[in-house]
């Protein structure tokens, strides 16, 4: 019988920037790290299948398919690697660090977000892989995509929404509902909206439909806070991941806690046993029965002794992530 939770063997030797499950194989997990590596794991066998390196720390990665991935980071390169043969190609560069990467499944391209204030579109099948770079007003910290809708979280709390097929024209320009810097944005699997988190212990749930009725549904809530010796401590919310089946979502923060939220009914469903240090990244697998948890100090309190960087694989039962009542 599978353990309820276990640590992956051969974890990165420095901070874990991203854990990301394959969108088709529930056992394949891609991990990027500040140790300049990208690692592919078969979590069912608890085995690292493949590892490759960049010239500098890697800030994000994504699957293109189960045999190929993309990655980027402080070396500014967009790298693609065949996970079977190990063949590497650099498709191009940004002018500053590559912060975010996602595959656009509907049109088979990859979108990148950079600190150089541009979004890039990359098609490896083309003789000129960079389809275009599209200027944004601020540094890009996070992006996600659902049903051809791209949501970009930037500095100065700017959130821009595009149709990925027309990046020259912004569909919506928003200011974050949260008063502090955006940390991460994840889109709802049903395509209705997104959740965003900030460095100041809050999560917002927002909807794409700009009608007054739909916008009344948006809300924000406090989380990842605790009182220690009578003093309130507020932590960044570094990680969000939506459950693929139920649309509930997990959050992970600087307090080492992982919570499960029912965004439709505005309820907290679950708090897992606290992890050794900061949660830097989270990912549900495609079947929703496993959650990858990166426990990795993100230096929000400066240089200090901290537990080793670890990836936990947690078995998830429907009862832990299913909404308690039907949303209206």
Beta bridge partners of 12: none
Calculate Rg over the CA atoms of the chain. Answer: 19
Q: Low-confidence residues of the chain, pLDDT below 70?
A: 1-2, 299-304, 326-328
pLDDT at 101: 98
Tokens 């949660």 correspond to 279
C-alpha–C-alpha distance, residues 18 and 37, integer Å: 11
Domain membership flag for residue 9: yes
Domain membership flag for residue 148: yes
pLDDT at 264: 86
Stretch (H or E) spanning 257: none
Region of residue 314 (phi > 0: left; psi between -120 and 50: alpha; otherwise: beta): beta
C-alpha–C-alpha distance, residues 251 and 272, integer Å: 11
Total domain count, the chain = 1
pLDDT at 177: 86
Helix (H/G/I), strand (E/B), else coil: 155: helix
pLDDT at 328: 47
pLDDT at 326: 58
Domain membership flag for residue 208: yes
pLDDT at 1: 47
Domain membership flag for residue 89: no
pLDDT at 2: 63
* Nearest in space to 38 (alpha carbons), one of 77, 9, 81, 87: 81
Domain membership flag for residue 120: no
pLDDT at 50: 97
Tokens 């020259």 correspond to 168
Domain membership flag for residue 273: yes
Domain of residue 266, CATH code:
2.130.10.10
Domain membership flag for residue 56: no
User: Which pTM value belongs to this model?
Assistant: 0.95
For 156, phi then psi, to 5°, come to 60, 25
Structural domain for 183, as ranges: 5-45+139-321
Domain membership flag for residue 308: yes
């Amino acid at each position: 019988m599978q353990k309820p939770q276990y640590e992956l063997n051969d974890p990165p030797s420095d901070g874990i920037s991203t854990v990301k499950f394959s969108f088709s194989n529930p056992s394949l997990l891609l991990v990027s790290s500040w140790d300049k590596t990208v690692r592919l794991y078969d979590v069912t066998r608890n085995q690292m299948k493949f590892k490759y390196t960049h010239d500098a720390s890697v800030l994000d990665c994504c699957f293109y398919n189960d045999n190929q991935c993309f990655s980027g980071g402080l070396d500014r390169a967009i790298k693609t690697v065949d996970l079977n043969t190990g063949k590497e190609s650099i498709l191009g560069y940004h002018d500053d660090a590559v912060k975010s990467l996602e595959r656009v499944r509907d049109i088979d391209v990859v979108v990148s977000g950079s600190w150089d204030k541009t979004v890039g579109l990359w098609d490896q099948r083309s003789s000129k892989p960079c389809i275009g770079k599209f200027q944004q007003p601020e540094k890009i910290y996070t992006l996600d995509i659902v049903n051809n809708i791209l949501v970009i979280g930037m500095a100065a709390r700017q959130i821009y929404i595009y149709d990925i097929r027309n990046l020259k024209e912004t569909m919506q320009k928003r200011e974050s509902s949260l008063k502090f810097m955006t940390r991460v944005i994840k889109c709802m699997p049903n395509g209705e909206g997104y959740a965003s988190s900030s460095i100041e212990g809050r999560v917002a749930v927002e909807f794409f439909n700009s009608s007054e009725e739909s916008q009344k549904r948006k809300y924000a809530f406090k989380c990842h806070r605790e009182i220690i010796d009578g003093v309130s401590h507020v932590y960044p919310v570094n990680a969000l991941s939506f459950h693929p089946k139920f649309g509930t979502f997990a959050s992970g923060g600087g307090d080492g806690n992982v919570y499960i939220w029912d965004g439709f009914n505005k309820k907290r469903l679950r708090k897992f046993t606290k992890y050794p240090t900061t949660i830097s990244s989270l990912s549900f697998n495609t079947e929703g029965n496993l959650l990858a948890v990166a426990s990795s100090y993100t230096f929000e309190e400066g240089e200090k002794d901290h537990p080793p960087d670890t990836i936990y694989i947690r078995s998830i039962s429907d009862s832990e992530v299913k909404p308690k009542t039907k949303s209206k």
